Structure 1
Amino acid sequence: MVSTVIIQVYVIYGFIFLLFLFLAIKLLIRSRNRISITLSMVFIIPAIGILFNILYRTIDDYYFNLIGNKLTIYLSSLALINIYFFAKIIQKSQVGFPLSRQMTIFLIYAALLAVLFVIPDGVEFEYEGGIKGIEGYNSRSLDPLDLGVPVFSTAFFLYGIILSQTVVIVLIFNGVKQYKEIGKSSKFGKKYIMVLSGMILMDIVIVSSYLFNWLNKPIGRQISLYLGICIIPAAILLYLGLKQEKKEL
């Protein structure tokens, strides 16, 4: 358990944080208009979440761990809404999809996701021996250090997965619809395939995090560790697809 947590947090997540930050900076260097800022949020928001993940594991205070873990899953779930905004701007133009509407939708979705923070006992950390909560934290092994693993309650799992997947389903539906309208042989059609593929890969990571932290089985956490690597090709596909769309506007 301990070695899995260390590898996942400091090796995999550390690299992903740098990758997301790099892609966001590249987008903002090219242009700082509304489209570029919207695209950069696809990478900046989850990068902040990953940073919180690394920080709370490093600081290692039980209650900060709870807040940090919720922030990580919250920001990861929040990021994909920006792909919807980008698609709407492309489809309707910046005039047809005004900034005020974009901000309203973003704030409503952010507020709905924020319910995750107030679900009673939504997240608890479990330590060696299956001891959960502050009791497990106080009695854990210090050599080697037992960082514990987050365990999601059924209410936390269901609320987070239903809300996040509703957004993903809308994104996929709209993406497939626009892909059919554009045509698979066109340059824009190929870019939509990259965006959809990247979005699905990123969503696999989000779903696995919800699912396996809820199931709380060692084999599930190993699977989640391996699936976490999907975020790397996901980020690259999203960047290439979205960047090319912006480049041709």
Structure 2
Amino acid sequence: MAEFQYDIVRILQVYLVQGLVFLFFVSLSIIILKRDKKRLNKVFSGFYILVSLGLFFNFIYAPMRSNDLVIIIEILNFITNYCLLLGPIFLVIFQLILLKSEKIITEKKQTIIFVSYSIVLLSMIGFMFGEETGVDILGPNWVPIYNLPIFIYLVVVHSIGSTIPTIFLSTMIYRKLEDIAIRNKWRFFMVGIHSLNIFMYGTYSSYILEVVLPGFRFGWSIVGLILVVTGGYMVFYGVGRQLRKEETKFTIGNLEEIKRIMQTSTKVNLDRMQDVLGMERKNFNKEIFKWAEIFNFTIDGSYFF
């Protein structure tokens, strides 16, 4: 009876709680890509897609109950953790693009950042499959129990690769934003980031605390559901303007570039400015009047004074 009750809890935790998160994140990624297929959208959606992929692999190995399948279970658990840890790097790249612009954070640089972090995460193999350093998944419960070395590894890597960069970059962006409406929305993004980080740290902590506090993991999964859904949506809501097809790709880099141009020139041709910023004509025409108001300059014909 005890094992049956535990299986019910496991089913609720994995397929109900995590299943809701999976559906929610898949839905957000679809919405983001439907709005536009531009690079900024693809990068941003990468976070939701990788987290969803990690949860999907978790769905596969969760019901497995056999000593003959231990290796497969451990491999799938590794892939799950790998995807969940790798996903946030897209938020780092996304913020770098907003801060510096796509002209500076090129696709090549984006690829280098992603591949470098992917390789760093592969070092997790050295911990995951060790008898006293990795994850123990054995009967009769077949629930992943994390040893202290792998727990420390996960916390350190996530902190260095995601938490610290996202907090730093989001703060830098917030300080440079001059549009009040955008600043207010960006606060939602920042709160969402904190919520997601708390969820990650709490989830990995639950894998250790479950040993001394049976049932803690299930309780945390309920709290975690609230944190991850709320955080995931707030991150999405906070950058809605940048993701709409009809809107320009607003970046701090745009404003910094305009400041640099106007500091070195008293009269700038609008066509030349458009080329420098690498913007489409329609979006450029929409934004140029906003920038004129921000920088207190005048538009006269084809020139910016």
TM-score (normalised: structure 1): 0.85
Q: Which runs of 5+ in 1 are unaligned?
A: 126-132, 141-145
Shift of 1:90: 1.3
- Paired residue for 1:7? 12
Check conservation: 2:96, 2:169, Cα contact below 8 A.
no
Asked if residue 192 in structure 1 is aligned to residue 199 in structure 2, the reply is no
The one-letter code of the counterpart of 1:239 is F
Measure how far apart 1:205 and its partner are.
1.7
Greater percentage in helix: 1
Query: How far did residue 110 of structure 1 move?
Result: 1.2
Report how many aligned residue pairs link the two structures: 230
In 1, distance between residues paired with 2:55 and 2:120? 21
| 1:214 partner SS | helix
SS in 2 for 1:218: coil
Per the alignment, residue 129 of structure 1 pairs with none
Instruction: Decide whether the 8 Å contact of 1:205 with 1:228 is kept in 2.
Output: yes
**Pairing partner for 1:236 from 211, 233, 237:** 233
1:58 is displaced (CA, Å) by 3.4
**SS of equivalent residue, structure 2 residue 239:** helix
The corresponding residue for 2:144 is 150
Distance, in Å, in 1 between the alignment partners of 2:172 and 2:59 is 38
Question: Is residue 202 from structure 1 mapped to residue 196 from structure 2 by the alignment?
Answer: yes
SS at match of 1:96: coil
Alignment partner, residue 30 of structure 1: 35
Mapped to 2, the partners of 1:223 and 1:74 lie a distance apart of 24
SS of match in other structure, 1:94? coil
Which of these residues, 52, 55, 60, is aligned with residue 55 of structure 1?
60
Once the two structures are superposed, what CA deviation does each residue of 1:208-241 show, in whole Å capped at 9, x if it has no partner? Answer: 1211212333253134222221111112112112
For the aligned residue pairs, the C-alpha RMSD in angstroms reads 1.8
In structure 2, what is the equivalent of residue 118 of structure 1?
A: 126
Q: Gaps (5+ residues) in structure 2?
A: 1-5, 250-305
Q: Measure how far apart 1:51 and its partner are.
A: 0.5
Structure 1 residues 185-224: Cα deviation after superposition (integer angstroms, max 9, x where no partner): 7122122211111111111221112112123332531342
Structure 1 residue 243 displacement after superposition = 2.6
Cα distance in 1 for residues equivalent to 2:84 and 2:145: 17
Q: After TM superposition, give the deviation of residue 59 of structure 1 in Å.
A: 4.5
1:79-115 CA-partner distances (Å, limit 9, x unpaired): 1111111111112111111111111111111111122
Q: Which has the higher contact order (CA 8 A, sep 6+)?
A: 1
Deviation at 1:242, TM superposition (A): 2.4
**How far, CA to CA, are the matches of 1:73 and 1:206 in structure 2?**
11
What's the % identity of the aligned pairs?
24
TM-aligned CA distance change 1:224 to 1:114, over 3 Å: farther
C-alpha distance after superposition, 1:4-45 (max 9, x if no partner): 321110101111111111111111112112111101101000
Contact 2:192–2:232 (CA under 8 A) maintained in structure 1:
yes
Distance 2:157 2:36 in 1: 32
Residue of structure 2 in register with 1:64 after alignment: 72
Letter of the 1:231 counterpart:
V
- For 2:175, the equivalent position in structure 1 comes to 180
**Residues 54 and 81 of structure 2 are in contact (CA less than 8 Å); yes or no, is this contact kept in structure 1?**
yes
CA drift at 1:181: 2.5
Please tell me whether the aligned partners of residues 197 and 234 of structure 1 are also in contact (alpha carbons under 8 angstroms). Answer: yes
Q: Which runs of 4+ in 1 moved over 6 A?
A: none
2:63 partner letter: T
Offset of 1:162 from its aligned partner?
Answer: 0.4
Q: How far, CA to CA, are the matches of 1:90 and 1:174 in structure 2? A: 9
SS in 2 for 1:149: coil
Q: Which residue of 2 aligns with 1:171?
A: 166
Counterpart-to-counterpart distance in 2, 1:191 and 1:77: 26
State the SS of the aligned residue for 2:103.
helix
